[in-house]
Amino acid sequence: MSILVAYYSRTEVTKKLAEAIAAETGADIEEIVSKVKYDGKIGFARGGKDAISEKIIDLGPFEHDVSDYDLVYLGVPVWAGKAANPMISYIKQNEGKFNDVKFFVTAGGSGFEGAIEQMEKYVGKAPLKTLTLVTKQVKHDEFDEELASFIE
Protein backbone atom coordinates (compact mmCIF):
# COMPACT_ATOMS: atom_id res chain seq x y z
CA MET A 1 0.00 0.00 0.00
CA SER A 2 1.34 3.43 -0.92
CA ILE A 3 1.05 6.00 1.88
CA LEU A 4 1.60 9.75 2.06
CA VAL A 5 1.66 11.91 5.17
CA ALA A 6 0.79 15.51 4.25
CA TYR A 7 0.82 18.10 7.01
CA TYR A 8 0.94 21.77 7.85
CA SER A 9 2.66 22.93 11.04
CA ARG A 10 3.21 26.48 12.24
CA THR A 11 4.94 25.58 15.52
CA GLU A 12 6.49 22.16 14.76
CA VAL A 13 3.95 20.26 16.93
CA THR A 14 1.99 18.80 14.01
CA LYS A 15 5.30 18.23 12.19
CA LYS A 16 6.57 16.07 15.05
CA LEU A 17 3.46 13.91 14.87
CA ALA A 18 3.65 13.72 11.04
CA GLU A 19 7.24 12.52 11.23
CA ALA A 20 6.29 9.87 13.80
CA ILE A 21 3.48 8.59 11.54
CA ALA A 22 5.78 8.51 8.50
CA ALA A 23 8.46 6.65 10.47
CA GLU A 24 5.96 4.03 11.69
CA THR A 25 4.31 3.49 8.31
CA GLY A 26 7.22 3.98 5.91
CA ALA A 27 5.21 6.72 4.21
CA ASP A 28 6.39 9.51 1.98
CA ILE A 29 6.01 12.90 3.63
CA GLU A 30 4.81 16.25 2.25
CA GLU A 31 5.17 19.44 4.23
CA ILE A 32 2.58 21.97 3.12
CA VAL A 33 4.33 25.31 2.79
CA SER A 34 2.27 28.48 2.98
CA LYS A 35 3.29 31.51 0.95
CA VAL A 36 1.42 33.60 3.55
CA LYS A 37 3.56 34.21 6.63
CA TYR A 38 2.00 33.04 9.89
CA ASP A 39 5.06 33.56 12.11
CA GLY A 40 4.95 35.38 15.45
CA LYS A 41 2.05 37.14 17.15
CA ILE A 42 0.88 38.92 14.01
CA GLY A 43 0.96 35.66 12.07
CA PHE A 44 -0.99 33.94 14.85
CA ALA A 45 -3.71 36.60 14.63
CA ARG A 46 -3.72 36.46 10.81
CA GLY A 47 -4.01 32.67 10.96
CA GLY A 48 -7.06 32.80 13.19
CA LYS A 49 -8.74 35.37 10.95
CA ASP A 50 -7.93 33.40 7.78
CA ALA A 51 -9.14 30.13 9.34
CA ILE A 52 -12.47 31.62 10.40
CA SER A 53 -13.07 32.95 6.86
CA GLU A 54 -11.77 29.67 5.31
CA LYS A 55 -9.52 31.77 3.07
CA ILE A 56 -7.81 29.78 0.32
CA ILE A 57 -4.16 30.84 0.11
CA ASP A 58 -1.18 30.26 -2.16
CA LEU A 59 1.08 27.34 -1.30
CA GLY A 60 4.54 26.30 -2.32
CA PRO A 61 4.93 23.52 -4.91
CA PHE A 62 4.11 19.93 -3.96
CA GLU A 63 6.58 17.06 -4.24
CA HIS A 64 3.93 14.33 -4.35
CA ASP A 65 0.66 13.75 -6.24
CA VAL A 66 -1.99 12.58 -3.75
CA SER A 67 -3.74 10.53 -6.44
CA ASP A 68 -0.68 8.23 -6.53
CA TYR A 69 -1.37 7.08 -2.95
CA ASP A 70 -3.81 4.52 -1.56
CA LEU A 71 -3.89 6.32 1.79
CA VAL A 72 -3.12 9.92 2.71
CA TYR A 73 -2.73 11.03 6.30
CA LEU A 74 -3.67 14.70 6.59
CA GLY A 75 -2.27 16.55 9.62
CA VAL A 76 -3.27 19.99 10.81
CA PRO A 77 -3.35 22.25 13.86
CA VAL A 78 -6.59 23.86 15.01
CA TRP A 79 -6.82 27.60 14.46
CA ALA A 80 -9.83 29.41 15.96
CA GLY A 81 -11.87 26.19 16.06
CA LYS A 82 -11.12 25.36 12.41
CA ALA A 83 -8.46 23.51 10.46
CA ALA A 84 -5.49 25.76 9.66
CA ASN A 85 -6.24 27.22 6.25
CA PRO A 86 -3.00 26.06 4.56
CA MET A 87 -4.41 22.52 4.95
CA ILE A 88 -7.82 23.55 3.59
CA SER A 89 -6.02 25.19 0.65
CA TYR A 90 -4.05 21.97 0.07
CA ILE A 91 -7.20 19.86 0.13
CA LYS A 92 -8.95 22.28 -2.22
CA GLN A 93 -6.01 22.19 -4.68
CA ASN A 94 -6.20 18.39 -4.67
CA GLU A 95 -9.98 18.18 -4.91
CA GLY A 96 -11.25 14.82 -6.14
CA LYS A 97 -7.78 13.21 -6.01
CA PHE A 98 -7.88 11.56 -2.57
CA ASN A 99 -8.37 7.83 -2.19
CA ASP A 100 -8.57 6.85 1.51
CA VAL A 101 -7.71 9.45 4.16
CA LYS A 102 -6.98 9.63 7.88
CA PHE A 103 -6.89 12.93 9.78
CA PHE A 104 -4.60 13.85 12.66
CA VAL A 105 -5.29 17.09 14.47
CA THR A 106 -3.36 18.97 17.16
CA ALA A 107 -4.65 21.77 19.36
CA GLY A 108 -3.90 23.62 22.54
CA GLY A 109 -7.03 22.15 24.06
CA SER A 110 -10.17 22.31 21.94
CA GLY A 111 -11.64 22.77 18.46
CA PHE A 112 -10.96 19.26 17.20
CA GLU A 113 -14.53 18.56 16.07
CA GLY A 114 -14.78 21.71 13.96
CA ALA A 115 -11.47 21.02 12.24
CA ILE A 116 -12.38 17.41 11.46
CA GLU A 117 -15.83 18.34 10.12
CA GLN A 118 -14.31 21.05 7.94
CA MET A 119 -11.64 18.72 6.51
CA GLU A 120 -14.23 16.03 5.81
CA LYS A 121 -16.37 18.59 3.98
CA TYR A 122 -13.49 19.70 1.76
CA VAL A 123 -12.11 16.19 1.11
CA GLY A 124 -15.62 15.00 0.28
CA LYS A 125 -15.44 11.77 2.26
CA ALA A 126 -15.19 10.53 5.82
CA PRO A 127 -11.75 9.62 7.13
CA LEU A 128 -11.01 5.98 7.94
CA LYS A 129 -9.79 7.16 11.36
CA THR A 130 -8.96 10.35 13.22
CA LEU A 131 -6.38 11.15 15.87
CA THR A 132 -6.68 14.20 18.11
CA LEU A 133 -3.89 15.20 20.46
CA VAL A 134 -3.28 18.26 22.60
CA THR A 135 -0.01 20.10 22.17
CA LYS A 136 1.29 19.01 25.57
CA GLN A 137 0.91 15.30 24.68
CA VAL A 138 2.93 15.73 21.51
CA LYS A 139 5.64 17.89 23.07
CA HIS A 140 6.12 15.37 25.89
CA ASP A 141 5.96 12.29 23.63
CA GLU A 142 2.84 11.01 25.39
CA PHE A 143 1.02 9.56 22.39
CA ASP A 144 2.41 6.06 21.68
CA GLU A 145 -0.82 4.15 22.39
CA GLU A 146 -3.02 6.60 20.48
CA LEU A 147 -0.61 6.55 17.53
CA ALA A 148 -0.46 2.74 17.40
CA SER A 149 -4.27 2.52 17.36
CA PHE A 150 -4.52 5.25 14.71
CA ILE A 151 -2.04 3.57 12.38
CA GLU A 152 -3.40 0.00 12.59
Dist. CA 78–CA 100, nearest whole Å = 22
Dist. CA 47–CA 79, nearest whole Å = 7
Count up the domains in the chain and report the number: 1
- Element holding 40 (H helix, E strand): helix 40-53
Q: State residue 68's pLDDT score.
A: 97
Q: State residue 135's pLDDT score.
A: 95
Query: What 3-state DSSP class applies to 89?
Result: helix
Closest C-alpha to 2, from 71, 79, 74:
71
13 and 132 Cβ atoms separated by less than 8 Å = no
Percent of the chain at pLDDT > 90 equals 84
Query: What 3-state DSSP class applies to 82?
Result: strand
119 and 76 Cβ atoms separated by less than 8 Å = yes
Q: Give the mean pLDDT of 131-138.
A: 96
Dist. CA 69–CA 82, nearest whole Å = 26
Cα distances from 102 to residues 7, 74, 125, in angstroms, run 12, 6, 10
Q: What is the pTM of this model?
A: 0.95
Q: Which domain holds residue 29?
A: 3-151
Q: What is the pLDDT of residues 9-58, one digit of tens each?
A: 999 999 999 999 999 999 999 999 999 989 888 888 888 898 888 889 99
CATH code, domain carrying 44: 3.40.50.360
Q: State residue 107's pLDDT score.
A: 95
- To the nearest whole number, what is the mean pLDDT of the chain? 95
